[in-house]
Amino acid sequence: MNKVSQAGKGELVFAGALFLVSLVVFWDTSGLVLPTNNTVISPRTFPYAVATLLMLASLGIAWEVFRGRAAIPEGAGADSTFQRADFKTMLIILIGIGLHTFLLERTGYIIAATISFWSVAYAFGAKRIVRVGLIAFVFSALVFFSFTNLLDIQLPEWFIERAISKVGS
């Protein structure tokens, strides 16, 4: 059995997490309230089968890692050295999208989308943060008005959206 590499350890955590998910599915399924009327087929059978498959697959991945066959990330060659993930860049985007989700129905579409657009552009190396902010705002406003006016798709609005459409009309 080979020594598990650093990349392999990450994959073990991944497999372990999915193993836990399979346990959660087992636990959730066992707690299902069964219907009182006499149905032929239990609503538990299928989830149990899925949980078993997930459990076996995650164990299979762990087995692969222990045998020294850790995954080669997409786009990387077999011989390329292990590359530590750039968590800072990822985190900026995660926070941006998280804020988008949190703010969307509180402060309207334009603010939420401006924040997520800005965070992704900034994370990918856009340097002039004020200019990026302006572009993000204009882009979000354009998306908002073209979707709500041309396509009849409703998006949450706040005072900014109302103010712009008042000025526009």
Partner 1 sequence: MLDNFNFLLDGFAAAFVFSNLIYGFIGTFLGTLVGVLPGIGPALAIGLLLPITLTVQPTQALIMFAAIYYGAMYGGSTTSILLNTPGESGSVITAVEGNKMARAGRAAAALATAAIGSFVAGTIATLLLAMAAPELAEIALTVQPAGFLALIITAFATVGTLLGSSRIRGILSLAVGLTVGLVGADLQSGSLRLTFGNRAAIDGIETVTVIVALFALGEIFYLASRFNHGPWQVIPIGGRAIMSKSDLKRSWKPWLRGTAIGFPLGVVPAGGSEVPTFLSYAVERKLARGKNREEFGHGAIEGVAGPEAANNANAAGALVPLLALGLPTSATAAVVLVAFQSYSIQPGPLLFMTNPELVWALIASLFIGNTLLLILNLPFIRFWVKLLYIPRPYLYAGIATFALLGAYALNNSIFDLQVALGVGMIGYLFRRFAVPITPMVIGVILGPLAELYYKRALQISQGDHGVLLDGPLTKSLYLFLILLIFLPPIYRRFIGRNRGKTKADS
Restricting to residues 21-80, name those near partner 1 by CB under 8 A: 21-22, 24-25, 28-29, 32-35, 39-41, 43, 45-47, 50-51, 53-54, 57-58, 60-61, 63-64, 69, 71-75
Q: How far is the CB of 55 from partner 1 (least distance, A)?
A: 8
Decide: helix, strand or coil at residue 149: helix
Segment 90 to 149, residues that bind partner 1, using CB under 8 A: 90, 92-94, 97-98, 100-101, 104-105, 113, 116-118, 120-126, 132, 135-136, 139-140, 143, 147
Find out whether 99 and 117 touch, Cβ atoms under 8 Å: no
Task: Compute, in degrees rounded to 10, the torsion defined by CA atoms 151, 117, 155, 99.
Answer: 160
Q: Give dist(CA 3, CA 8) in Å, integer.
A: 9
154 binds partner 1 (CB under 8 A): yes
Is 152 near partner 1 (CB under 8 A)? yes
